Amino acid sequence: MKFDYQGSELALFATAVHWKSYVADTLRPFLGVRVLEVGAGFGANIPYLARGASRHWVALEPDPELAAAIKARVAAGALPSSCMVINGTIDELGADELFDSVLYIDVVEHIADDRGELARAARHLGHAGQLIVLAPAHQFLYSPFDAAIGHHRRYNLAALEALTPENCVVRAARMLDSVGFFASLANRLVLRSAAPQPGQIDFWDRWLVPLSRRIDPLTAFRFGKTAVIVWQRVA
């Protein structure tokens, strides 16, 4: 099944290098060698996450134009040659296609049936494989920007844990970007912007994200505007 993605945030956040590095440092230990990234967009996360260990990266993207953009970047050498692109959804993978990790970065909030999606994804985990989700946090922060880019919801850790697929257990759950939380709160209560401006993204990424990297450990990763959960397959 193919989809035309209507969101505008992919290009807007593509230059958020400090944030992408922070996310990559958080998620990379859970990835393993064979990785499936669901909703890979135009591949903006791959250069950060595929560093280090040799990895076979499968970028699953339902929008044909975005999938073509990833293929073009692989062909141009901007993305690793080990990156394979599939234009489709999790439903189109064969039952025998198993991965060390299945990764959703800012994707499940776009999916109406998030529980069903994660249950299907878990079936593609190999032995002790990891299912990783990163999503925007706190429904009370839901803003016109969320609505404009097709978010159905935001999450807290309890809401994510409630989605635990069969035969999986929670291995890690944490919040990120404690300082950025207040920027999101200002947007929700004061600015009510349908889309942050590039200058706002640059300020957040350049100044607030580095502060969050220092402060988040002090909060024991229990406070922030982004929720991360990692499930491990146990059977």
131-142 pLDDT, tens digit each = 999 999 999 999
Q: Who has greater pLDDT, 206 or 193? A: 206
Query: Dihedrals φ, ψ of 25, to 5°?
Result: -65, -30
The pLDDT of residue 219: 97
Q: Which helix (H) or strand (E) holds 3?
A: none
pLDDT class of 196 with cuts at 50, 70, 90: confident
Asked if the model's pLDDT at residue 149 lies above 70, the reply is yes
Asked if the model's pLDDT at residue 6 lies above 60, the reply is no
Asked if the model's pLDDT at residue 193 lies above 70, the reply is no
Q: What is the pLDDT of residues 41-77, one digit of tens each?
A: 999 999 999 876 667 999 999 999 999 999 999 999 9
Cβ atoms 102, 131 nearer than 8 A: yes
Q: Given the DSSP bridges, would you call strands 99-105 and 83-86 parallel, antiparallel or unpaired?
A: unpaired
pTM of the full structure: 0.94
> What average pLDDT does range 71-87 have in this prediction?
95
> What average pLDDT does range 13-38 have in this prediction?
96
Task: Find tokens 């996450």 and name the residue.
Answer: 49
| CA separation for the pair 146, 151 (Å, rounded) | 5
The pLDDT of residue 184: 85
Structure tokens at 107: 């994707």
- Name the β-bridge partners of 226: 136, 176
**Domains recognised in the chain with CATH numbers:** 9-233 (3.40.50.150)
For residue 138, count other CB atoms closer than 10 A to its CB. 19
Q: What is the pLDDT of residues 197-212, one digit of tens each?
A: 888 899 999 999 999 9
Asked if the model's pLDDT at residue 7 lies above 90, the reply is no
Read off the amino acid at residue 59.
A
Contacts of 131 (CB under 8 A, 6+ apart): 101, 102, 118, 121, 122, 125, 165, 168, 230, 231, 232, 233
The pLDDT of residue 10: 79
Structure tokens at 191: 């600015």
Asked if the model's pLDDT at residue 194 lies above 70, the reply is no
Half-sphere CA count of 1, side-chain side, radius 13 A: 6
Q: Given 3-state DSSP classes, what are the helix, strand and coil percentages for the chain, each rounded to the nearest 5?
A: 40, 20, 35
Asked if the model's pLDDT at residue 153 lies above 70, the reply is yes
